[in-house]
Amino acid sequence: MLDNSVLAGEILRHGAYVCVRIAEGAGARAVAGVAIPALAEKLGLVNEFEPAGGPPAQSIAFLRRHGATQSAIADDGVAHADAVVHVAAPTAQPVSDFCAEAARLLGSMARLRVVGGVVRPRTYTGAAMNNFAYAHQIVQQPGRLMPNAFLLPMSKTAAWWAKDWMERHTYFLPRYDDDGRMKSEGHALASAAGISCLLRRTYKSTTEPAPEGAYDFVTYFECADADVPMFHQVCTSLRDVAKNPEWKFVREGPTWHGRRVATWPDLFTGRPR
């Protein structure tokens, strides 16, 4: 069968990035004093800044703005966020409760834009691809070692979703001509240079394609200062449609660059204007 009924439907994890933009006239000090830490403790969310053997089952992370670049999908809520808070859990309730209560606590002091989704079992990953990529991927490190955070939401075009899953699969692998010469690298090879130094996390929409105003995929990366050029190199490689024809079907939202910090108040100190 070529329809999507053969693909995994199980949800392993729920996550959201709460993009916080301080409202005009609201003070950073007042926003820093909002009881977000108490809310996180009440919901059992454990800070990712000092991970012990990987991210906690129910986690929270604080990302302070460093800069942002707009792209094909204009999204001021992401691009102009002063801070981003990541929350994740195996079930939806802690994530939705945090988002709702954070909005209530912040009230008129901030505008919130929430993007996120779910983690499902890998779709196109067999044993060989697992050994090529995921077996060697870097795990989450303390914030002081990998302080950079990049949030990059995106969607695929209608033409992509019109393809059956087998055809979509072909875009992730290299393509060869009849004489065995590689014509394009595909997603896997175009991004291979970042496997050993870029932590990647992806949330997918609960439906494919995503509803209006939502993203099909919300991707996130962490890396050390020395590896920021590698992040941009991998992005450039993926965007090269001669190398990676898949990107003909991609529309990106803003790339938001933040710095991981240890606490909620840290988000609002030394903010770039």
pLDDT band at 121 (very low <50, low <70, confident <90, very high): confident
Give residue 272's pLDDT: 42
71-99: per-residue pLDDT in tens? 999 999 999 999 999 999 999 999 999 99
The whole-chain average pLDDT of the chain stands at: 93
Q: How many residues does the chain have?
A: 273
Give residue 7's pLDDT: 64
DSSP 212: T
The C-alpha atoms of residue 193 and residue 237 are separated, in whole angstroms, by: 10
pLDDT of 44 higher than 50: yes
pLDDT of 128 higher than 90: no
The C-alpha atoms of residue 132 and residue 265 are separated, in whole angstroms, by: 40
pLDDT band at 2 (very low <50, low <70, confident <90, very high): low
DSSP secondary structure, 88-129, as one string:
EESSHHHHHHHHHHHHHHHGGGEEEEEEEEEE---SS--HHH
> How large is the average pLDDT for residues 124-144?
81
The C-alpha atoms of residue 231 and residue 227 are separated, in whole angstroms, by: 7
> How large is the average pLDDT for residues 157-180?
94
- pLDDT more than 90, % of the chain: 84
**SS3 of 215, please?**
coil
195-245: per-residue pLDDT in tens? 999 999 999 999 999 999 999 999 999 999 999 999 999 999 999 999 999
Other beta carbons within 10 Å of 10: 8
pTM, to two decimals = 0.93
pLDDT of 273 higher than 50: no
pLDDT band at 6 (very low <50, low <70, confident <90, very high): low
pLDDT of 271 higher than 60: no
